[in-house]
Amino acid sequence: MVLDEIAEEAHATGEPGLFFIDVTNRTNPTPHIGEIEATNPCGEQPLLPYESCNLGSINLERHLNRIDDRYEIDWEALEGTIRTSVHFLDNVIDMNRYPIQQIEEITKANRKIGLGVMGFARMLFKLGVPYNSLDGLRVAQQVMAFVRRVGYEQSGHLAELRGVYPNWRGSLHEKRGQRVRNAYVTTIAPTGTISMIADTSGGCEPEFSSDLVQERHGRRATPVHPRLLHRSRQAGGLLE
């Protein structure tokens, strides 16, 4: 079957992507402006023609409290980071320099942002929660529900201070009575490059290996996973 082949190839190579355009348009916040026809290149954010992609990702691994030899999520710090990030991304829309007028016009009219996460798998390592488990799914649900709730609260706060996005009237948000500054608030990006800069795991993905081969200045480096190294030392220095 076609779906079987798509699934097998996506698992093997990451391609092809699969985009359900009818489902996406049922949740399109501004159907009165136009239909969504595609996503940005990495597929994380459906966009109208000429819309730009304005993303930011929170490093979840950095939002943990260590208590003795265990960790717990620092919800207060995470809330502060979410609110700051939404404010920052909204500012980016106004401070950005756009290559053509059409991009600037639709971007400022819908003010879409995409706040997501990285370091989810590393966070689970420190919490002692297996990624492929019901507990792992429960943590994912809790964290993203929190990011979404606080993110939209902050967008609503910005709407009180700065006004709703210009295309708000006639939108799904208006029909729900939801005054927000941004037509989109959250998304989950792969964070392939920035997660390496931050030395954490990418997006919401698991860690697929205990080491990671990287190209650096023409040389191949294979650093050992830091949590594996830590656990090995606890077990008697197997990797010393």
Taking only the tens place, the pLDDT of each residue in 195-229 is 888 889 889 888 876 655 555 566 555 555 666 66
For residue 237, the enclosing domain spans: 210-240
User: Looking at the 3D structure of the chain, how many domains does it have?
Assistant: 2
pLDDT digits over 42-65, tens only?
888 999 999 998 999 999 999 999
Same-domain check for residues 35 and 138? yes
Alpha-carbon gap, residue 141 to 153, rounded angstroms: 18
Same-domain check for residues 44 and 120? yes
Same-domain check for residues 158 and 234? no
Per-residue confidence at 236, pLDDT binned at 50, 70, 90?
low
Residue 40: its pLDDT value, please? Answer: 86
Same-domain check for residues 224 and 201? no
Q: Residue 45's domain is classified under what CATH number?
A: 3.20.70.20
pLDDT digits over 156-174, tens only?
999 999 999 999 999 999 9
Same-domain check for residues 220 and 198? no
Same-domain check for residues 195 and 230? no
What positions carry a catalytic annotation?
40, 42, 44
Same-domain check for residues 193 and 219? no
Same-domain check for residues 91 and 143? yes
Residue 1: its pLDDT value, please? Answer: 84
Same-domain check for residues 14 and 123? yes
Same-domain check for residues 166 and 221? no
Same-domain check for residues 180 and 232? no
Same-domain check for residues 204 and 214? no
